[in-house]
């Protein structure tokens, strides 16, 4: 492609509304333009990258046994009523009426449509399993669209749905998608984690993983191991508990009262006393199924509600209000401690292991020092009641430690079970001739969001650094001077050779200063740049990978070899 | 692909709501399913064909210099107000409000969006020409969706828009698209005509062609030449006028009065008198710019309003009401004739050439016989005032005659000129530094509609007969018995060989009776069927083209050669 004929409006400055790096670069490199909040047009370069992402997704879906379909965006509200989601979904669901006043939704997802389809087309277990997928435009009326393609209102998704006759079948379908997702994201050049996500209220007897691309702009926190591939959302992260660790055997001592006026938080205490947070035990009063309990965690740790609920076997759990805390502890919030409490006390393992701790004194402006768990107070039980923390051991492998990252959700696999098939009466006849609800899984990838995620991970000060697998072009040919006939002739000769080898090229034939050309080249980030300059007459060009600083002087043949190697790499 | 794993729900009977052959077959062959009126899901086979159509369109658009973009379906109403179409468009435009109560339309077309985009990105004539296209889902809330994908409410279109600095440039862009459309439709295996369409109210100083696939279900009538490629919508069709033909020189005779009680129409007259319609002259009273005139056409011809308007140089033209006709002719409608009229008379050439005609007598229940034009009545002028008719000479070539067909509009190319760029103030600076409106063209192809159009042309009693270029698979391998190990082994061996040769195959591995398999095979219409039966042990298979009745017994190698030749053909 000749650059002079390409609609590629690069910008020197990022528009002020773009916060995320990827959003800035999408605009600056001329990949997209905003039409309305969260609604974008993909310009030629952006469309090319999107098509490469689509191709990778399609290829891996097909390999994993998926069958491609295409479902409509217009969905009758009636179907959403059958599943029970029409009222529940809230204002994110775009609703409209047709000319005959019939209600429709613009699909943010297609569980209802596919379940209604399979309800009509599946009669026997012999037609199962089946996994159907589509790459299709979705609509979600976000309250605050932002970060460019990361949170848009109209976006491209791959959504897949599996149908099985039993739970073992669902598991096989799930694993096939899970594995395909790994291949897809790896081929896109992404650093990502498959995270054990909290099923929340959707889950059946299932599992669910979120695929998170690591990036600071991400809205979720992920714990992952430095050695193995363990990863989980913060809320669900486990960690290796050092069970062999025992509190040092020390002589029982007496506790001391310490005057700590106004110091209600660990931060205030560590500052005023000059001690590490690990020296403290935090005492938090919760209401568990209506009754007050005290949860103890080490000063540097955070209580994890989900773990506490599970450990205590309660349904509801919430922090006690100030009044309850004062009634239970006899002191205002900030000075609660385990010593002398009459309500049940539960100590997180790390808190129980402190041999000599500082705790609240249950008295305003006072703390107790030299408190020995099990000696100066007792507890109902000790267990894992806290969030994983930086430096914790990996729960899966021997050597690893947990690290924390922010992540962008790029994919999600989910065992739906019979949630939709039961609500919508989508059944099949099993081998015994009995009607059974279809057992379903659903699997999403934010295809347009991938574009942003890749840029978040593959950019530098100058611009985008595309992985070759999804770059809009593989080779950028830049003649230094459009007026130099020798340079232009060699540049076009190179283009012809690349074309013949099936390698996509962009040739900057614009009559611009070299500085402008190089700046644009770095901005749009094509993997290999071949600069045709003064040595064109002797057939020497300068070859530079976008990802490397150094350039090499090579002959035409060497340059072509390098270009074709790059094409093979991915 | 193994057929047992493919979602391909064939139906023995066409659902009663499906009138069009293509609609019936789309449903019966399991290509689509309806979700709501005019809203369809594409099942795997349908999606495959759609993807092949997309690929052909994309390839030819790229070859013609088009740059692919992707614009949103959600379009701010504000843009439609700028172009002036928001109120004009009517109920076909799907309108909605977002959560912040801002008005949007779901794009039925993208002139507004692309003009707004180019308004922002085009500053100089040096950035022109540019042709941008997309393959994207459109919405149009049809009053009466019907014929399956032929008139839907959500459908896939390719729309392209060209931007030029001058009218010569627009013409070049237009021709490039016009030529690309010919290649696209030919590659899809369609019989079609590029028809000179009436620009109607949209047109600038342009041209416009509709591409019509010939099919009886079509909603338009097209005149086309039996020899050359002349074609036009009926309203615009010209024909070759035999100017050398003169009325036979006959002695002036006297006219005779004929009693024709109740015979007001040509049909009634030809029946009661036993004469051909060509023996009659019809006299129609029109009001042209407020004044009554009489237009004469031969009994078998129809007046063409557009031609009359142009010939008479009037702006408004409509048939006179009964009262006016009676006042002007002195007789009720049905008995008007040119003899003795005092208003201006205009005779179509064919009418003027009748040497001895039958005309109305301007007297109830009477006609005049032996009427000689120019002798018994005079006329202001003689010219082309009628629709082209079957058997007329072609207006362009020597030998051809006009034939008439019904057609499905599959594409449209249109010189928009500055209609949108002026309304939306989309300008560029010309070489002299002066702001000029962009000169635009727009070019549409109904991609999903193509699917129906191809089936309308490529089907027989048994089902679809896909052209190889867009068939969902190239080869259908049908082992007669799924229980016969020799047959199945050979079938899978064939599949492997085809796979290696890059030829898409479908293998019917279902445990069904041969009759069921063959019926399904004919219904879904894969171009080549290879039946593996009793002679499997000796490596002999039966090969049959879907388009031919005869099958051949061939060796495996011969069958593979035939399959690969088929792949090359297209």
Q: Which residue has the tokens 């008479």?
A: B312
B92, B141 in Cβ contact below 8 A?
A: yes
CATH number at residue A507: 3.40.50.800
CB contact (8 A) between residue A67 and residue B42: no
Per-residue pLDDT of chain A (570 residues; tens, 9 = 90+): 999 999 999 999 988 889 999 999 999 999 999 999 999 999 999 999 999 999 999 999 999 999 999 999 999 999 999 999 998 888 999 999 999 999 999 999 999 999 999 999 999 999 999 999 999 999 999 999 999 999 999 999 999 999 999 999 999 999 999 999 999 999 999 999 999 876 444 444 558 899 999 999 998 899 999 998 888 888 888 898 765 555 556 677 889 999 999 888 998 999 888 899 999 999 999 999 999 999 999 999 999 998 999 899 998 999 999 999 999 999 998 999 999 999 999 999 999 999 899 999 999 999 999 999 999 999 999 999 999 999 899 988 889 999 999 999 999 999 999 999 999 999 999 999 999 999 999 999 999 999 999 999 999 999 999 999 999 999 999 999 999 999 999 999 999 999 999 999 999 999 999 999 999 999 999 999 999 999 999 999 999 999 999 999 999 999 999 999 987 665
Q: Which residues of B touch A424 (CB under 8 A)?
A: none
Q: What average pLDDT does chain B have? A: 93
Question: Would you report the helix, strand and coil content of chain A in percent, each value rounded to 5?
Answer: 30, 30, 40
Q: How many Å from the N-terminal Cα to the C-terminal Cα in chain A?
A: 21
Nearest chain A CA: its distance from B99 CA (Å): 6
Tell whether B213 and B113 lie within a shared domain.
yes
Q: Which residue of B has its CA nearest to A45?
A: B69
CB contact (8 A) between residue B67 and residue A44: yes
Of A41, A94, A130, Cβ closest to residue B7: A130
Tell whether B60 and B184 lie within a shared domain.
yes
- Asked if the structure places residue A6 within a domain, the reply is no
> Tokens at residue A531, please?
């600069």
Domain count, chain A: 3
Q: Which residue of B has its CA nearest to A99?
A: B91
B250, B440 in Cβ contact below 8 A?
A: no
Tell whether B194 and B132 lie within a shared domain.
yes
- Asked if the structure places residue A5 within a domain, the reply is no
> Can you tell me the mean pLDDT for B213-218?
93
- For B303, residues 6+ apart whose C-beta sits below 8 A from its C-beta are B284, B295, B297, B348, B385, B386, B387
The edge-to-edge listing of strands for the beta sheet with A291-298 is A317-319, A281-288, A291-298, A345-348, A381-383
Of B41, B70, B132, Cβ closest to residue A72: B41
Q: How confident is the model at residue B256 (pLDDT cuts 50, 70, 90)?
A: very high
Mutation for B interface: A90, A99, A117, A164, most B CBs within 10 A: A99
Percent of chain B residues past pLDDT 70, beyond the cut: 96
Nearest chain B CA: its distance from A209 CA (Å): 27
Q: Which residue of A has its CA nearest to B79?
A: A35
Helices (H) and strands (E) in chain B, counts: 15, 31
CB contact (8 A) between residue A71 and residue B41: yes
Residue A249's pLDDT is what?
61
- Asked if the structure places residue A487 within a domain, the reply is yes
Tell whether B186 and B262 lie within a shared domain.
no
Asked if pLDDT for residue B272 goes beyond 60, the answer is: yes
Distance CA B481, CA A139 (A): 47
Residue B250's pLDDT is what?
64
Asked if pLDDT for residue B87 goes beyond 90, the answer is: no
Going by C-alpha positions, the residue among B53, B101, B49 that lies closest to residue B77 is B101
3-class SS of residue A2? strand
Asked if pLDDT for residue B70 goes beyond 80, the answer is: yes
CA distances for A485 relative to A475, B336, B547, angstroms: 21, 78, 55
Tell whether A423 and A373 lie within a shared domain.
no
pLDDT digits (tens, 9 = 90+) for B494-538: 999 999 999 999 999 999 999 999 999 999 999 999 999 999 999
> Tokens at residue A349, please?
């393992």
Tell whether B35 and B141 lie within a shared domain.
yes
User: ipTM of this predicted complex?
Assistant: 0.88
- The DSSP letter of residue A289 is T
Q: Which residue of B has its CA nearest to A33?
A: B117
CB contact (8 A) between residue B33 and residue A143: no
Last residue of a domain, one of A348, A383, A418: A383
| Cβ-based contacts under 8 A for chains A and B | 143
Question: Would you report the helix, strand and coil content of chain B in percent, each value rounded to 5?
Answer: 30, 30, 35
CB contact (8 A) between residue B74 and residue A153: yes
Tell whether A214 and A264 lie within a shared domain.
no
B466, B43 in Cβ contact below 8 A?
A: no
Q: What is the DSSP string of B233-274?
A: EGGG---B--TT-----------EEEE-TT--SHHHHHHHHT
pLDDT digits (tens, 9 = 90+) for B116-159: 999 999 999 999 999 999 999 999 999 999 999 999 999 999 99
Of A72, A102, A154, Cβ closest to residue B35: A72
Q: Which residues of B touch A76 (CB under 8 A)?
A: 35-36
Tell whether B211 and B265 lie within a shared domain.
no
Q: How confident is the model at residue B204 (pLDDT cuts 50, 70, 90)?
A: very low
Distance CA B99, CA A142 (A): 8
CB contact (8 A) between residue A36 and residue B91: no
Q: Which residue of B has its CA nearest to A50?
A: B70
Q: Which residues of B touch A66 (CB under 8 A)?
A: none
Of B36, B70, B141, Cβ closest to residue A99: B141
Q: Which residue of B has its CA nearest to A94?
A: B98
Residue A233's pLDDT is what?
87
Q: How many Å from the N-terminal Cα to the C-terminal Cα in chain B?
A: 21
> Tokens at residue A507, please?
């040739």
Of A47, A68, A92, Cβ closest to residue B47: A68
Q: Which residues of A touch B46 (CB under 8 A)?
A: 70
Report CA B532 to chain centroid distance, whole Å. Answer: 41
Residue A201's pLDDT is what?
40
- Asked if the structure places residue A462 within a domain, the reply is no
- Asked if the structure places residue B394 within a domain, the reply is no
- Asked if the structure places residue B378 within a domain, the reply is yes
Structural domain harbouring B531 = 473-569
Of B6, B72, B76, Cβ closest to residue A40: B72
Distance CA B522, CA B514 (A): 12
pLDDT digits (tens, 9 = 90+) for B276-331: 999 999 999 999 999 999 999 999 999 999 899 989 999 899 999 999 999 999 99
Tell whether B200 and B77 lie within a shared domain.
yes
CATH number at residue B357: 3.90.960.10
Helix (H) or strand (E) holding B517: helix B514-524
Nearest chain B CA: its distance from A185 CA (Å): 23
Q: Which residues of A touch B33 (CB under 8 A)?
A: 117, 120-121
Residue B389's pLDDT is what?
92
In terms of Cβ atoms closer than 10 Å to its own Cβ (0-12, 13-18, 19+), residue B89 is middle
Q: Which residues of B touch A153 (CB under 8 A)?
A: 74, 98
Going by C-alpha positions, the residue among B355, B142, B383 that lies closest to residue B243 is B383
CB contact (8 A) between residue B91 and residue A99: yes
- For B359, residues 6+ apart whose C-beta sits below 8 A from its C-beta are B280, B281, B283, B337, B338, B339, B367, B368, B371
CB contact (8 A) between residue A91 and residue B74: no
Of A46, A48, A98, Cβ closest to residue B141: A98
Residue B200's pLDDT is what?
45
Residue B248's pLDDT is what?
58
CA distances for B369 relative to A47, A50, B337, B359, B372, angstroms: 72, 75, 11, 7, 9
Tell whether A189 and A80 lie within a shared domain.
yes
Tell whether A433 and A328 lie within a shared domain.
no
Asked if pLDDT for residue B405 goes beyond 80, the answer is: yes
Q: Which residues of B touch A73 (CB under 8 A)?
A: 73, 137, 139, 154
Q: Which residues of B touch A69 (CB under 8 A)?
A: 7, 41-44, 47
Of A67, A69, A95, Cβ closest to residue B41: A69
Going by C-alpha positions, the residue among B273, B226, B536 that lies closest to residue B394 is B226
Q: Which residues of B touch A155 (CB under 8 A)?
A: none
Rg (CA), chain B: 30
Tell whether B412 and B273 lie within a shared domain.
no
Nearest chain B CA: its distance from A101 CA (Å): 11
- Asked if the structure places residue A388 within a domain, the reply is no
Q: Which residue of B has its CA nearest to A136?
A: B137
Distance CA B375, CA B354 (A): 12
pLDDT digits (tens, 9 = 90+) for B365-379: 999 999 999 999 999
- Asked if the structure places residue A7 within a domain, the reply is no
Of B7, B74, B104, Cβ closest to residue A67: B7
Of A41, A116, A127, Cβ closest to residue B69: A41
pLDDT digits (tens, 9 = 90+) for B16-61: 889 999 999 999 999 999 999 999 999 999 999 999 999 999 999 9
Residue A491's pLDDT is what?
98
> Can you tell me the mean pLDDT for B233-259?
77
Q: Which residue of B has its CA nearest to A143?
A: B99
CB contact (8 A) between residue B68 and residue A47: yes
B194, B208 in Cβ contact below 8 A?
A: no
B223, B232 in Cβ contact below 8 A?
A: yes
Of A5, A95, A154, Cβ closest to residue B74: A154
CB contact (8 A) between residue A141 and residue B99: yes
């Amino acid at each position: 492609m000749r650059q002079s004929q390409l609609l590629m409006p690069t910008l020197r400055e990022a528009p002020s509304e773009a916060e995320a790096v990827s959003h800035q670069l999408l605009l600056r490199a001329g990949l997209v333009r905003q039409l309305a909040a969260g609604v974008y047009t993909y310009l030629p370069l952006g469309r090319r990258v999107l098509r490469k992402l689509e191709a990778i997704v399609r290829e891996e879906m097909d390999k994993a046994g998926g069958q491609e379909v295409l479902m409509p965006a217009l969905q009758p509200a009636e179907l959403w009523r059958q599943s029970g989601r029409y009222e529940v979904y809230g204002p994110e669901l775009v609703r409209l009426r047709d000319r005959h006043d019939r209600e429709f939704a613009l699909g943010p997802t297609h569980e209802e449509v596919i379940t209604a389809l399979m309800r009509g087309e599946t009669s026997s277990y012999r037609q199962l399993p089946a996994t159907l997928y589509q790459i299709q435009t979705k609509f979600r009326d976000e309250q605050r669209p932002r970060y460019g393609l990361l949170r848009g209102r109209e976006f491209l998704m791959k959504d897949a749905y599996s149908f099985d006759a039993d739970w073992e079948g669902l598991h096989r379908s799930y694993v096939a998608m899970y594995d395909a997702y790994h291949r897809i994201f790896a081929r896109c050049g992404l650093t990502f984690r498959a995270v054990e996500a909290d099923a929340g209220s959707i889950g059946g007897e299932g599992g669910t993983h979120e695929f998170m691309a690591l990036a600071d702009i991400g809205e979720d926190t992920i714990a992952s191991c430095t050695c193995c591939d363990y990863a989980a959302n913060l809320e669900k992260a486990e960690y290796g508990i050092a069970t062999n660790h025992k509190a040092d055997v020390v002589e029982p001592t007496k506790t001391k009262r310490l005057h700590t006026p106004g110091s209600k938080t660990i931060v205030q205490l560590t500052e005023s006393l000059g001690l590490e947070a690990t020296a403290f035990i935090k005492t938090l009063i919760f209401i568990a199924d209506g009754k007050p309990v005290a949860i103890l965690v080490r000063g540097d740790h955070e209580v994890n509600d989900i773990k506490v609920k599970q450990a205590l076997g309660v349904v509801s759990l919430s922090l006690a209000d100030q009044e309850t805390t004062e009634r239970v502890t006899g002191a205002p919030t900030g000075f609660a401690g385990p010593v002398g409490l009459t309500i049940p006390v539960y100590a997180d393992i790390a808190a129980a292991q402190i041999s000599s701790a500082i705790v609240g004194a249950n008295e305003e402006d006072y703390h107790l020092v030299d408190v020995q768990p099990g000696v100066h107070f007792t507890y109902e039980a000790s267990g894992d009641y806290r969030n994983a923390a930086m430096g914790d051991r990996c729960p899966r492998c021997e050597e690893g430690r947990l690290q924390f990252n922010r992540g962008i959700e790029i994919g999600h696999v989910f065992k739906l079970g019979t949630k939709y098939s039961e609500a919508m009466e989508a059944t099949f006849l099993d081998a015994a001739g009995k009607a059974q609800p279809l057992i379903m899984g659903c699997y999403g990838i934010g295809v347009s969001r991938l574009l942003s995620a890749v840029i978040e991970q593959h950019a530098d000060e100058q611009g985008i650094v595309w992985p070759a697998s999804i770059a809009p072009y593989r080779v950028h040919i830049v003649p230094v001077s459009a007026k130099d006939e020798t340079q232009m002739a060699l540049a076009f000769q190179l283009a012809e050779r690349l074309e013949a080898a099936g390698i996509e090229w962009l040739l900057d034939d614009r009559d611009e200063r070299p500085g402008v050309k190089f700046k644009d080249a770095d901005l749009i980030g094509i993997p290999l740049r071949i600069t045709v300059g003064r040595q064109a007459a002797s057939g020497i060009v300068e070859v530079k990978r976008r990802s490397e600083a150094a350039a090499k002087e090579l002959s035409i043949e060497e340059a072509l070899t390098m270009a074709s190697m790059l094409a093979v790499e991915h």
